[in-house]
Chain A
Amino acid sequence: MSDFATLIAEARTKRDFAPFLAAVPYFRFLGLTVKAGESEGELICVLPADPKLIGNARLPALHGGVVGALLESVAIVQLIWSAETDRIPKIIDLQVDYLRSARPVETFARAIITKHGRRVANVRAEAWQDDPARPVAAAHAHFLLA
């Protein structure tokens, strides 16, 4: 197993994603962290408030691409948590619905694996800021597992 595969395996067994997140440059770039959600096995990805993530300086609002990246990332983290894999799942497609303007504040996201097949997983994800009942964006995505 490569060092990186070991990090993925350890993230799952030790329930600590910090070393894994630190090993992925784009997660470091976003400043992403992971915490436990309310229900068993649910993870929450946290995107910190950071001026560099703004896509509209006038409103101001987070960049739509950042919100999309957060939704894809939480899906990946949830899949690694749930699946016996030592590789990062490969994204096949992603559809993001932007529901509200995302302010440049701390943003959260969670994912539900709708269908976990042998080769393909279907995942739904949503992102929110102050209130989980008022999501700023929702997504669904497919990932190649094998």
Chain B
Amino acid sequence: MQIIENANVKEKLFFEKLENGMPVLIIPKRGMKKKYMIWGTYYGSNDNIFIVPGESKETRVPEGVAHFLEHKMFEQENGTNSLDVLTALGVEANAYTTNDHTAYLFEGTTNFFEAMDELMNYVQNPYFTDENVEKEKGIIGQEIMMYDDYPDWKVYLNAMKAMYHNHSVKIDIVGTIDSISKIDKEVLYKCYHTFYNPENMVMVICGDFEPESLLEEVKKRLKSVEPIGEIKRIYPDEPTNIVKEKIEEQMEVSQPMYTIGIKDKPIDHMESNQIVQKELAMQILLELLVGKSSYLYKELYNKGSIYGGIGYSYEVSKSYAHILFSGQSNNPEEVYEMLKKQIEYFKKEGISPKDFERIKRKIYGEYIEEYNDVGNIARMFLTDYFKGVNSFAYLEQIKNIHVENLIQLLEDVFNEDKMVISIVRN
């Protein structure tokens, strides 16, 4: 196996790409009792139009299939449910679907290899029937309704709708009651056989292991599947401009909730280190803009316009990218206007090197802290891998970030005509 070491956090990554094309990443953690295994496929809620290798026509599937498939994978032909089997082994099992990937995982202190048997068995053996697909529609219907009652989810989704004309990132990962009603077992099998090919999947394991022998255990449990070649994914043409600047919705909340978005360009063409540098520079800049020691935070806090701070995130992928700011405020419009002003101020006056260095230290510390927990580590390496990034790169690249990178970002990304605000209020 290839060994990659990071001297700052003092951890090692063992890496191997198997013959079937699947990468396996192992991060040993001596002394930890918890072990964590996650197996992901590069297939999420955004992949609704694609061309199956070997076919000429494109396939269109209803929204919410990736998530529906995730639910159904647990069901086994012998009548058992793998979630129950794993729980019975004393491990905590789960699965989740994001915009760009689906992952199956478990975490535990006992019966690791028995649990690995079960996980690898169920992910490699789908069993869908008309009956069990129909049944799942009831459960997922309740899940959709549960999200309907979360104002924070609503306000997020509306911000997506304000930014994106066509891209499926604007649609709920779980789909809608209407879209899931169109799902049948044929659709599920087709998506499974296309996207659950080892070539399209990544496995990450973290815990107290000998990497080489663990890799053999993984290989033993893999079915032999022929690689099918590249899946062509089709995303609807997405204009660079926004749909509309403001969306408001009424819900019973104590305080208005807001999400402010800035639409950015996707990263299709960038090198791994460029992605990392852009994300790091963005993180430092966003912290300087709205973090706990920022001017904006102090002003808004002292006015009583925000409490609980302003959350921020930067999401970047091959087909979309955006910045989000979110929180609760009695006057979201004021937060929006002051944020715009602060961006202008930074553009005009520049960024203080002293503040920059301090925030850089903070971000460094936060990356180190990620390595406390086996689950955090494994999820981080998986998510980053799908972006084409080795997670250690963040610790290595941070020293290469300079004030100039932030200035460049301000010019390239922070444009008023790319900004939207979504509000949920009474």
A and B are partners in one complex rather than unrelated chains: no
